[in-house]
Amino acid sequence: MDYAGSDTTTGPEADHQGPRSWQTDRSRAPAVTKIVIAGGFGVGKTTFVGSVSEITPLRTEAVMTEAGEAVDDFEAVPDKDTTTVAMDFGRITLESDLVLYLFGTPGQKRFWFMWDDLVRGAIGAVVLVDTRRLEDCFPALDYFESGGLPYIVAVNHFEGTARYEPEVVREALSLPAQVPVLVMDARKRITVVDTLLTLVGRALEITPGRL
């Protein structure tokens, strides 16, 4: 790819409103924060992000070795195989000077190397669950339970499949009583916003007030 020759002034972003005012003012930057959406393959992470994002979800890749280390070097390690991990993300400008990013990340344990970095500074995580493959979310739950990051469980309900009450899911996942569980639809913006609000509410519950 010829980087120098490509038009990088506007970039291939698809934001239907065009550039936001904060993007064109380099004298200051908005406050920025993020939420992580974790879950197994095909559970609806990218759909979830796309339902609220003001840009078409963008894909970024991290390269890791088989040993599970991130590669931040130009020369790959010759004796180790590497894999690429894709992460989709979206963006919401909540105020002219407040931006929220949503990062969808695969839930397998071998991606934990990426999460330590990804969750730093995050509001918390939404663990997305498909009740037909409940076990896919176990690694993500284990990770967030042990890391102390606020998290909630969102059941992405695919129509035509059995619908379980949140309390049934809570029991099946042996979730502590204080962790919110809700049933939503990753394609419906309103339920995605509700899910995000539930997470922020949970984060507020466990964030100490100013003394």
Partner 1 sequence: MTAAPVISAVGPVARAAAPGRRTARVRPYSLTGGRTRFGHVLLVETFVAASADPDEEPAPAPGGLAARVMPEVRAIVGLCRRLRSVAEVSALLKMPLGVVRVLLGDLADQGRIRVYGTGDATGRPDRALLERVQSGLRRL
Rule CB under 5 A: which residues touch Mg ion? Answer: 45-46, 88
Q: Does 211 bind partner 1 (CB under 8 A)?
A: no
Number of residues that bind partner 1 (CB under 8 A): 73
Chain residue at closest Cβ approach to Mg ion: 46
CA nearest neighbour of 124 among 38, 32, 29: 38
**Can you point out the beta strands (E) in the chain?**
31-39, 58-65, 82-95, 98-106, 124-129, 151-156, 181-184
Site for ligand GTP in 47-76 (CB under 6 A): 47
Find which of ligand GTP, Mg ion, partner 1, none residue 76 binds, CB within 5 to 8 Å per kind: partner 1
44: left (phi over 0), alpha (psi -120 to 50) or beta: left
Site for partner 1 in 35-74 (CB under 8 A): 52, 58-63, 70-74
Structure tokens at 209: 């007030």
Query: Residues 35, 128: contact at Cβ < 8 Å?
Result: no
CA nearest neighbour of 200 among 89, 32, 45, 35: 35
Binding mask 142-161 for partner 1 (x = CB under 8 A): --------------------
Stretch that binds ligand GTP, among 62-70, 142-150, 153-161, 203-211 (CB under 6 A): 153-161
Query: Residues 81, 66: contact at Cβ < 8 Å?
Result: yes
Cα–Cα distances in angstroms (integers) from residue 123 to residues 92, 130, 165, 168, 200, in the given order: 14, 23, 26, 26, 7
Find which of ligand GTP, partner 1, Mg ion, none residue 179 binds, CB within 5 to 8 Å per kind: none
Collect all residues with Cβ–Cβ distance below 8 Å to 39 and sequence separation of at least 6.
Answer: 45, 106, 107, 127, 128, 129, 130, 136, 137, 140, 156
Which residue of 35, 36, 38, 43 would you call a contact of ligand GTP, by CB under 6 A? 43
Q: Does 41 bind ligand GTP (CB under 6 A)?
A: yes
Gap between the Cα atoms of 122 and 195, Å rounded: 16
Q: Does 159 bind ligand GTP (CB under 6 A)?
A: yes
Binding mask 101-140 for ligand GTP (x = CB under 6 A): ---x-x----------------------------------
Site for partner 1 in 2-41 (CB under 8 A): 2-4, 6, 8-9, 11-13, 19, 22-26, 28-34
Instruction: Enumerate binding residues for ligand GTP (CB under 6 A).
Output: 39, 41-47, 104, 106, 156, 158-159, 185-187
